[in-house]
Structure 1
Amino acid sequence: MNVTQLIADVSAALGFEDAQPLTQGGQKLVLRGSLSGAPAVAKIVMIQPGPNGEVTLQRAHREVELLSAVDSDRVVKVLTDAVEIGEPTESVCWVEEYLDGDDLHAAFDHAWNEQEVWGLLSDMAEALSACHELEVVHRDLSPGNVRHTSDGRFVLMDPGLARHLEKTALTGAFQPGTPGWRSPEHVPGGDPVPASDIYSLGILAFVALSGSFPVNPHVDQAAYDRALVEQQASSIATLVPGISPELRQVVDTCLSRQPARRYLDGAELRAVLAEIGAGR
């Protein structure tokens, strides 16, 4: 791959200016630059020949389609359509708003206070509510897909594994999500639903408060899958005994093993948070 030529082609196709590589990993290259004078990032996904490449291409178009439909400042905004580069297609690219700050990986090196966790729960409930309202399940709510910005917001990103409940033929069936951040419904044979995103949010809150996973992912895959399906996560109060009753109830409910015992979607969680006066 000639990166210099690729950047030139993408910049021309998107009207993207001052492009500089920001991150690169796997099949994706992210550029920082500007669009119409405003800071922005261009995302480029490489497309390999063959059936797997076609799946990757469809997933990229789906990501842009979903981001375009969601209206929330807690979900990253897409600024252009997805544009394919090459004939046959060698890459697909689009522009998103630039978000400063960092994802949550680095933030889990210390225990969060309750106010920080309420903020995470509130912002992600709003983001998920906007997705669930469109019958879209994110399916990969994990530290790498949540950005904590300098103004204090938590913003949801990268719905590349999302599934539209009314368009299963388009969006595909089971996707694995990120190990450690999966719900019981992510186990092969399961069917992720809006409450599955709520479970993953519960994991984020649990780890932020305690530094530990509610279900240990550091075992072989079969054992982890079995634990997700069969074991109820311990109450967060067992690891954080000083936690307030309100936050304990919210986190424990998010992590109920059975989907029907959780908050059913982002809207229900938002309503509960508003009722108890938590969050933003």
Structure 2
Amino acid sequence: MSTFYEEVAAALGVTDLHPLRDGGQKRVFVARRGTEDVVVKAVEVLPPHQALVLERAKREVTLLGKVSATAGRRIVALRSGLVTVGDPARPSAVGWLEELLDGHDLRELPVGAWTQQDARDLVVGLVQALHHLHENEVVHRDLSPGNVRRRADGTWTLLDPGLARHLTELSLTGLYQPGTPGYRSPEQVTGGNPEPYSDIYGVGILGYSVLTGQLPVDPRGNEEDYFRRLREQQPAPVKNLRPDLDDDFAGIIDRCLDRQPARRYLDAAELLEELGVGIPS
């Protein structure tokens, strides 16, 4: 009997599956379609949450198709539409294809003691990618190392908008706590609505971590204590750990990490202006 991901692969017309990531209901593979290697994302649709899982998948594919068409290499590209297995109204599984990127995820790269220039390149690349989301009224909500990739040519690319939120659409709840421990913004644990400034906090976390080797708010230990620290604790200034940084760049990282959203940059466009970088075309 075929597994759900084998049925998805057959529906997508790909062969030679090799697993990349096992996320339970969501499986990720490298496969072959014609002459191109691609990434297969297959999601099992189980009761009692079929409608919610299906809607999440539809939104992820629609979003990725919309923003990757204009973002160039800054956001991973969609390679197919959504396919369903079984009854289209109540499928047993869904799936789609994305481009296979070369290079390495940030989680595969050593962090701490990055040069200021390398950290700035990361921040600029992330914010340029986020601009394409924010201008479409979308918040990524999961800027964790596994969702950020440095390609072989040095380009930084943003992946996996699976938890992204369209600001103009109703929120989907019931299955996932948005974000990754250690990489959440304070408002993500207080029940507040996501806004572009939440992604700005995520940029600050990644910049801080590659410069210092530490997370600005330690997620270890009891989850309730971590949430309390995230809500109440202002991260130490990055220059406490990296006194060699320019005041201007250190100030940008610290402002991104302000626990008060109104004191951060409003969105990617405002942060690009502060960085002295033009809006990406």
AA partner of residue 97 (structure 2) = V
C-alpha deviations, 1:39-97, integer Å up to 9, x for none?
3111111121212x432222122111110110212111111111111234221110101
Q: Quick check: 1:137–1:162 contact (8 Å CA) kept in 2?
A: yes
Task: Check whether the contact 1:215–1:228 (CA below 8 A) recurs between aligned residues.
Answer: yes
- Equivalent of residue 206 in structure 2, options 194, 204, 207: 204
Normalised to the residue count of structure 1, the TM-score between the two structures is 0.90
- The C-alpha deviation readout for 1:108-134, integer Å capped at 9, x for no partner, is 454311121111111110111100101
Corresponding residue number in structure 2 for 1:242: 244
Does residue 68 in structure 1 map to residue 78 in structure 2?
A: no
Q: How far apart are 1:251 and its partner, in Å?
A: 0.4
Q: Contact 2:112–2:209 at 8 Å: present in 1 too?
A: no
Deviates more, 1:107-116 or 1:74-83: 107-116
Match of 2:47 in 1: 49
Note if contact 1:10-1:16 (Cα within 8 Å) is conserved in structure 2: no
RMSD of aligned Cα (Å): 2.1
Asked if the contact 1:163–1:172 (Cα under 8 Å) also holds between the matched residues in 2, the reply is no
**TM-score, length of structure 2 as denominator length:** 0.89
How far 1:252 sits from its partner (Å)?
0.7
Give deviations 1:226-266, integer Å, cap 9, x for gaps: 22222211110001111112220110111111111111111
- Inter-partner Cα distance in structure 1 for 2:271 and 2:103: 26
Whichever residue aligns with residue 26 of structure 2, its letter is K
Secondary structure of 1:92 counterpart: strand
Instruction: Structure 2: state its 5+ residue gaps.
Output: none
Equivalent position amino acid for 2:134 in 1: H
Amino acid paired to 1:129: H
Q: Give the number of aligned pairs.
A: 272
Give the superposition deviation at 1:17: 4.2
In percent, how many aligned pairs have the same letter?
A: 46
Q: Say whether 1:136 aligns with 2:138.
A: yes
Take 1:218 and 1:118, find their aligned partners in 2: how far apart are those partners? Answer: 27
Counterpart contact for 1:136–1:164, Cα < 8 Å: yes
Contact 1:21 1:31 survives alignment (8 Å): yes
Instruction: Verify: 1:80 aligned to 2:80, yes or no.
Output: yes
Change (3 A) 1:93 1:191: same
Q: State the one-letter code of the partner of 1:127.
A: A
Partner deviation per Cα, 1:155-203 (whole Å, 9 max, x = no partner): 111111111110025x449843111100011013222210000001100
Partners of 1:107 and 1:247 lie apart in 2 by 22
Aligned partner of 2:109 in structure 1 is 107
List alignment gaps of at least 5 residues for structure 1. Answer: none
Q: Distance in 1 between matches of 2:131 and 2:48?
A: 36
Distance 2:115 2:102 in 1: 22
